[in-house]
């Protein structure tokens, strides 16, 4: 829920209109989270206010602002029990920061202090979901040598670094449970290919995780995370950084970070250009150009691991990784886990839904096989069936989970925590699944994925509703996400007009959601370019 707020000193000052607030949060910021989570999370709700609080804007107390605003919204007839996330858009207070957010609790609060930019809201919501800041390790003599200091907001790629509204880095996605099979754990010498980070295609590698050893302070495993960032989607700000202040193309290299298991505040962007012209002239690192360039090599002074960018072409990069020859220890880490519904996430009370659980054993090759046990925290009266599964290091296996709701379950969308654990090395991964209990009077809508084949890069009209399921007289609300490599807009008849941009090469995808007021459903539209004829003319599949 979004609450618009002013104070006793400025009752006539409207910080932002309701329409602007709705567009800001439920369109722009929602699109960011939908893309960052690969469709796992989206924002819905309502806007309330403006409320003039009986307190002064000359003090800084965000908890008091939230409490007073909630009271006024409740008195105005809003049911706050319907929401577990609250965003307060206020006129300026005495607080010096742009905003603040409660950390990993519900109900959560995000206070936005007069700066109504999407990056500020996305940042504070990140805190609400449990994320800490994305920092940088600033060293004088090299990437990790000499006198070093931590720059709290130093990660210039990540919205949790608060420079730009860039996608969360791989370590942050891992903390949210959103990093699946796109990450590959490297444990042997070799040359590894990674695709552009922004697409995060589950069928391709977009992140490399390289073990560094054990943090001597915490005893936890440390990792280098490698990404190949390109100016796509919400990372398009990278275009503006190149060829300024002695820089070349800032998107040509790979981004290297260091982080520690089970330590949310350990994300450190590393600077791979310690001898840059910028540093020679100004005496400090340019944190908008820290990537390891083509042909560049980084050698970790502690572990001896060597990382070289062999080549990059705008869509993928070839990365050479060499260990120092002593990499014989077992490096155990939490498995990668992803959960997808087998058919649907909606059913009547008492019915059973099935989900596919995909587990990737990320332990190094020197580790023994482990047996993973899934466990679910289901509501009282619900039951589930999940079997243990044995997986070798570096391998991925699928198993099914069956969840049966209670016959007396109320109509609602239930988020069910899922834990995957193993006892040999005591590694645990967290995820969740969604089970939507519908009342018997509701007719559920169902959006069905579409595959669109085009033979040339031209404007294409997509009739995505033709194969969806809904009542013919339904008053459908249709929303669409932002494609990575084109633009999409909703037409008056419910179809979608897709326009490929110059960066479109072979394929693109985006999601759309249909909502009839009782139920919602989301599907993916995949657009592929084929040089030969035989496409479907750009139309969605017909019923």
**Span 219-247, mean pLDDT?**
94
> What mean pLDDT comes out for the span 386-402?
94
C-alpha distances (whole Å) from 503 to each of 210, 314, 361 are 30, 10, 35
Sign of CA dihedral 345, 350, 355, 357: positive
Cα 109–Cα 111–Cα 116 angle in degrees, nearest 5? 130
**Cβ distance 341 to 305 under 8 Å?**
no
Number of H helices, E strands in the chain: 6, 32
Q: What is the pLDDT of residue 530?
A: 86
Res. 272: pLDDT tops 70? yes
518 falls in which pLDDT band (50, 70, 90)? Answer: confident
pTM of the predicted structure, to 2 decimals: 0.67
Query: Cβ(120)–Cβ(86) under 8 Å?
Result: no
Largest CA distance in the chain: 71
Report the alpha-carbon distance of residue 254 to residue 311 in Å, rounded: 10
What domains does the chain contain, in order, with CATH numbers? 2-129 (no CATH), 135-322 (no CATH), 336-437 (2.60.40.10), 450-529 (2.60.40.10)
Q: Rounded CA gap, 35 and 263, in Å?
A: 25
CA 137 – CA 226 distance, rounded (Å): 15
Mean pLDDT across 495-499: 95
Q: What are the tens digits of pLDDT across the range 432-464?
A: 999 999 876 556 789 999 999 999 999 999 999
> DSSP readout, 470-538?
--TT---EEEEPPPSSEEEEE-TTS-EEEEE-TT--SEEEEEEEEE-SS-EEEEEEEEEE-SSS---TT
Q: Could you write out the DSSP letters of every residue in 264-315? A: TT--EEE-S-TT-HHHHHHSS--TTS-PBPTT-EEE-TTT--EEEEEEE-SS
* pLDDT surpassing 80 at residue 101: yes
- The residue that leads in pLDDT, 538 or 132, is 132
CB atoms closer than 10 angstroms to residue 447: 23
CA 308, chain centre distance (Å): 27
Cis preceding-peptide flag for 107 (omega within 30 of 0): yes
Instruction: Report which DSSP code applies to 469.
Output: B
What's the mean pLDDT when you consider all of the chain? 91
* 69 DSSP 8-state letter: H
Q: φ, ψ for residue 123 (rounded to 5)?
A: -65, -50
Of all residues in the chain, what percent carry a pLDDT higher than 70? Answer: 95
Distance CA 400, CA 358 (A): 9
Average pLDDT over residues 488-512: 92
């Amino acid at each position: 829920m979004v609450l618009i707020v002013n104070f006793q000193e400025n009752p006539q000052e409207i910080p932002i209109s309701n329409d602007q607030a709705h567009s800001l949060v439920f369109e722009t910021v929602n699109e960011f989270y939908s893309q960052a989570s690969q469709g796992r999370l989206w924002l819905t709700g309502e806007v309330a206010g403006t409320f003039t609080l009986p307190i002064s804007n000359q003090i800084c107390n965000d908890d008091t602002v939230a409490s007073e605003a909630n009271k006024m919204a409740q008195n105005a007839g809003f049911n706050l029990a319907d929401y577990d996330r609250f965003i307060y858009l206020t006129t300026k207070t005495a607080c010096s920061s742009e905003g603040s957010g409660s950390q990993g609790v519900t109900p959560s609060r995000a206070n936005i202090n007069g700066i109504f930019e999407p990056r500020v809201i996305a940042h504070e919501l990140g805190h609400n979901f449990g994320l800490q800041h994305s920092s940088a390790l600033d060293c004088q003599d090299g990437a990790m040598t000499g006198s070093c200091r931590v720059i709290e907001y130093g990660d210039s790629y990540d919205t949790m670094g608060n420079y730009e509204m860039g996608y969360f880095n791989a370590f942050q996605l891992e903390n949210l449970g959103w990093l699946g099979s796109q990450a590959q754990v490297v444990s042997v010498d070799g040359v590894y290919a990674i695709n552009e980070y922004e697409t995060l295609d589950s069928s391709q590698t977009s992140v490399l995780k390289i073990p560094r050893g054990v943090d001597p302070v915490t005893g936890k495993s440390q990792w280098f995370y490698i990404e190949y960032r390109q100016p796509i989607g919400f990372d398009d700000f990278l275009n503006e950084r190149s060829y300024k202040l002695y820089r070349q193309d800032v998107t040509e290299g790979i981004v290297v970070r260091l982080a520690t298991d089970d330590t949310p505040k350990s994300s450190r962007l590393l600077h791979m250009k310690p001898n840059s012209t910028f540093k020679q002239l100004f005496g400090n690192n340019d944190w908008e150009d820290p990537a390891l360039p083509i042909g560049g090599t980084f050698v970790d002074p502690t572990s001896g691991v060597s990382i070289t960018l062999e080549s990059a072409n705008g869509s993928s990069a070839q990365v050479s990784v060499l260990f120092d020859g002593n990499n014989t220890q077992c490096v155990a880490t939490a498995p990668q886990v992803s959960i997808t519904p087998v058919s649907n996430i909606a059913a009547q009370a008492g019915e059973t839904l099935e989900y596919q659980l995909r587990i990737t054993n990320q332990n190094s090759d020197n580790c023994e096989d482990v047996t993973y046990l899934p466990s679910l925290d289901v509501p009282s009266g619900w039951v589930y069936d999940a079997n243990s599964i044995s997986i070798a290091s570096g391998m991925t296996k699928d198993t099914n989970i069956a969840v049966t709701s209670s016959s007396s379950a109320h109509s609602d969308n239930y988020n069910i925590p899922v834990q995957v654990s193993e006892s040999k090395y005591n590694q645990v991964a967290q995820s969740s699944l969604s089970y939507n209990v519908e009342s018997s009077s509701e007719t559920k809508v169902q959006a069905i994925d579409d595959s669109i084949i085009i033979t040339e890069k031209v404007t294409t009209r997509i009739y995505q509703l033709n194969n969806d399921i809904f009542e013919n007289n339904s008053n459908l609300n249709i929303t669409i996400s932002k494609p990575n490599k084109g633009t999409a807009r909703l037409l008056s008849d419910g179809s979608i007009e897709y326009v490929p941009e110059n960066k479109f090469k072979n394929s693109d995808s985006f999601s759309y959601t249909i909502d009839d007021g009782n139920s919602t459903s989301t599907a993916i539209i995949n657009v592929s370019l084929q040089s030969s004829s035989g496409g479907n003319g750009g139309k969605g599949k017909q019923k």
